[in-house]
Structure 1
Amino acid sequence: MNRTLAIALACGAALPLALAACTAAPAPQPDQSAAASPEAASSDHGSVAGATEVAEPQLQLLTVTAAGDVGLLDLLDGGERTLPTVPAPARLATDGRYVFSDSGSGVSITDSGAWTWDHGDHFHYYRADPAHLGSVTGEGPAAVTGDVLSTAGSTGVFFAGSGDAVLLDNAELSSGRVVERFRVREAPHVGIAAPLGAGALVSHLDEASGETQLRVLDAGGKPTGAMTACESPRSATSTRAGLVVLCEGGAVVAASGDLEFVSLPADAGGSPVSLSGRKGRPVLAGPGADAAGQPGTWSFDARALSWQWSPASAPLLRVSAVGDDEGHVVALDTEGRVHVGHGGKETAVTPPLLDPADLEPGAASAVTLSVDQQRAYLNAPTAGIVYEIDYADGARVARELTPALRPDFVAEVGL
C-alpha cells in the first residue's frame, strides 16, 4: 500500500491515531548527489531470508514504556502490534532498523523488521517479521553506533561503566542472531566503539595522563597503530562520507583509512553535546553557542570538512540535520518548541508541544527528535503523543499520533 492511499484510508476509518491533518507526503527519492556506500555493491541489495521487498519505505515508530513494554506503530496504515518486553530502559538508540534498549546493565536488541538498503543512486525497501534478538552484556550507559547498512558491516557498543567495547556482526543480526565479532576491555570512561571498515574505531583512555585517543582496531580487535587524540569522545555517527566522532573542540572524520580532526571555529563557545542527522547523510548538527553565549546550532559537513553556525532564538536541547538540498535543520528548545531553519537562518517555530514534566532534567533525556526525508517526529510522553512535523511547511504539525503504549521512549525505524 502506498503512503498516499494509506493516509487516505486513515481519514475515513477508525484507527489508533489521532490525525491532526490527513495529508500525505511522497515516498523519499534517491539522493543522486551522494556517493554509494562501498558495501552497497553487494548482490543481495539488503535482502535476507524471509523478507519481502516492497515499493516504499516501511516507516514505523517503535515505542517503549518506562517499564519496558514495546509496541510498533505503522506510519503508513496506522496498524499496531505488541512486541516482547525488554528490561526497563534508561535510554534508546537505533540504526534505523534495530532498536537498542539500554538498561544500564546491558543492551537488549529488537529487530523492527523494516529497513532500507542504500544503493547510492537508488534504494531497496524491505519488510519482515519483527523480533527480539537478544542482548549484549555490559555495565553503565551504552553508546551504540550503527553502520550505514543494517544487513552488512557491523554495530559498535561501548559500555562506560565496564569499559567493554563490542563489535556486533550485522549480517548475523539480520539473520536473528547476536554475534560479537570481538570484545575488548578498555578503562571505564564515557567513550565510543564505532564500525570502521572490517574493524572499529574505539576510544582509549590513558589512565596515567588522563588523555583520550581514538584507536583503529582490526577485524579481530587488535590495534592497527592508527590513532588520533580526541578529548571527551561522544556522538559517533556513520555517514556516507565517513565515520564522524564528536570530540571536545572539533570532530574526527575517519574515511579511507585516514583520521582527520576538524577543529571548531575560534568563535565557538564550546563544543556541541552531540551531533545528529538523517541516516547516512554527511551533514550533522548539534546544539551549542557562540563565543558571546548566543544559543544556536553548529552544523558539520563530513564531506566538505567544515562547520557552520546558525543562531537560534532560544537555548536548544536537541538538533538534527536533514541533509537535504535546502539545508533544513530541526531543533527542540528548552520550552518544548520545535524550531526549523535552513540557509543559516531560523524560519519557523511551533508553540510549546511538550508538558513541562517532559523537560525536567530526569525526563528530558528520553525525549527524542528524529528526522527523515520529509518529516520530523517528537515524543511527548506525558500527553501520550508523538508529533509528526512537516518541517518544510513552516513546522506544521501534520499528525498527532497516539500509540497504544505510552511513548516514554521512541525510535523511528524503516530508514
Structure 2
Amino acid sequence: MAASAPRIFVSHLAGTAVFDPNGDEVGRVRDLVVMLRVGRRPPRLLGLVVELATRRHIFLPITRVTGIESGQVITTGVLNVRRFEQRPTERLILGEMLDRRVRLVESGEEVTVLDISVQRLPARRDWEADRVFVRKGKAGAFRRKGETLTVDWSAVDGFSLEEHGQGAESLLATFEQLRPADLANVLHHLSPKRRAEVAAALDDDRLADVLEELPEDDQIEILGALKEERAADVLEAMDPDDAADLLSELPEDDKERLLTLMQPDDAADVRRLMAYEERTAGGLMTTEPIVLRPDATVADALARVRQEDLSPALAAQVYVCRPPDETPTGKYLGAVHFQRLLRDPPYTLVGSILDDDLRPLRPEAELPVVAGFFAAYDMVSAPVVDESGSLLGAVTVDDVLDHMLPEDWRESEYHLQEGAGHGGG
C-alpha cells in the first residue's frame, strides 16, 4: 500500500474475505494480532488470524499482505496452514481489546474501547495500531448514551494485561530496539529457563535473526525447546546458509524430521547447502542473492536493492544471469555494484554495465581462498558459480568473519561493551 494509505478501523475488517493474487478466496479475517510495546508507543501489527474454509484458524503475517482495500485483503499467495497459536507477547485486538475499560491519560476518566484503527507506516512495511475510538461514561446498560471520541494510542492507559507467572513481555519490550546481535548477547547470558521463555515469546522472524547471532550450543538448546512445527517455521525464516549450519549439528533423525516439516522450497535450498563442506564457499553462501536478467533496468535493480529485509552486504550488488532467475540460475554474466547503479540513468540496461572481470568463486573453494578474495578485491559479497556457469549463490563478508573469528568471539570485551549499547534495527 502507498504511504498515504487510509486509516482502517479493525471492526470493518472482521469477516473480510482474504484473496490470493489470482482472485481466489482463501479465507476470512477473524482477528488482528499485535504486540504491545514499552511505554505508550503504539503496538506493532504482526498479522491477521484467518479462518480457512476448513474452519482452521491460521496466522497470516502482515508482511504477506499486499493490500487492504474495498472490503478485501490481498495476500502474496504464500500461506502457512498450521493452526494459529497465540504467543505470550501477542494480543488479539477483537478478542482482547475491544470493550475493554481504559483511562484517558489527561483526565483520568474511564472509557470503553469501541474500536481501534491500524495504519501502515510511511515508506515501510510495518503497521501500527495508532488510534482508539472510545465512549465516555460508566460501563453497563446505559453506556451507549455516552459521548464518543477518537484519540491517539498514547492518550489512553490500561491495555497492559496481568502476567501470570514470569512472562517475557516486559523483557522483550525493554530490548525491542536492540539489534539482533545485541539481543543475542542478552539471551546468551540468561539462564536456560529464561532463555527458553524469551525465545518462545519472540516472533519467528525476530527469533530467526537472533539465532543467527548466537553460539552453536545456544542455537541447538533453543531450537530443541521449541515445538517441532515452530522450529521448522523459524528455520524457514533464517538465511538458508545459517539454517543449514544449524541443522548439520543435529542428530540425523531430528534433522530429517525438521526438514520434512519445512516448506519444500525452503527445505530444498537448505539440503543443497548441506551437501557442501561447512568451511567452503558452497557451505558459506546464501542461495538468495539479488538475481536479474540482462534486460532489466537500473530502476529495476534499485527497486530490488531497496527491499528492507536484505542485509547491507547482499544489497551491495546484483548478479546478472540468463534465466532461470532462481539459484541455480542460467549462465552467470557478471555483477553490477550498487555505486554503479547510482551513477547510471534509470533506463540503463544492467546487461550493459556489467563488471565481468572478476572470476567468481567455485563452491569447493576453501575458507582461506574465500577470505583472500574479499581482501584482495575489497568486496562485501562474492558470487559462487559452478562448472557449468550457473550462479549457485553468494558469500557475504559477515559469514566469512563468523568462520574466521575465534569460537568465543561473542564473549570478547568489544562485543560485550560496545555491542550491547547500540539500539536500532
TM-score by length of 2: 0.26
Greater helix share, 1 or 2?
2
Greater strand share, 1 or 2?
1
TM-score by length of 1: 0.27
Larger Cα-atom Rg = 2
